[in-house]
Amino acid sequence: MKAHLTRRYRFSASHRLHNAEMSDDENRATYGKCNNPYGHGHNYALEVTVSGAVDPATGMVCNLVDLDSCVETEVLSRYHLENLNTRQEFAVTIPTTENLCIQIFDILHRRFPHAHLERVRLEETMMNSFEYAGGQELIS
């Protein structure tokens, strides 16, 4: 029997959406207020969904302690209270929430062996959320 588990986490980070290949006018037209030279911040809500067989001994898809530990170590400690533009993984990639979502999926896909990673969903604002379920080339 396959079951899904979705766990929710929160972290805060800032970023500036800016493409060095574009003019200042193009950046303002493309990114609007998100192109503020001083950046801006978000209180992100991260949902991680894993799946697998329900272990008859524990009754769980995976141990929540293991999942929480992995997300804390690999994601939250990396991004919480950080300016995403200063992170190595965003040195050449614009730190949009779409790209952040893909990056988090890639990290967890490599680091969490206890269940199958189905998807990562990242809520940026009450009006914007992004979801990635793999299957595409990941950013480096």
Which CA distances in Å does 88 have to 78, 79, 95, 118, 140? Answer: 11, 12, 11, 26, 10
Taking the domains of the chain in order of start, what are their residue ranges?
2-132
Cα 102 to chain centroid distance, Å, stands at: 6
pTM above 0.85, yes or no: yes
Extended beta strands in the chain, E state = 2-15, 40-53, 82-83, 116-123, 129-132
* Tokens read off for 12: 């805060």
Give pLDDT tens digits along the chain (140 positions): 799 999 999 999 999 999 999 999 999 999 999 999 999 999 999 999 999 999 999 999 999 999 999 999 999 999 999 999 999 999 999 999 999 999 999 999 999 999 999 999 999 999 999 999 997 554 44
In this structure, the strands spanning 40-53 and 116-123 are antiparallel
Any bridge partners for residue 82, and if so which?
13
Half-sphere exposure of 98 (CA within 13 A, CB side): 4
Cα 60 to chain centroid distance, Å, stands at: 24
Q: Domain 2-132's class?
A: alpha beta
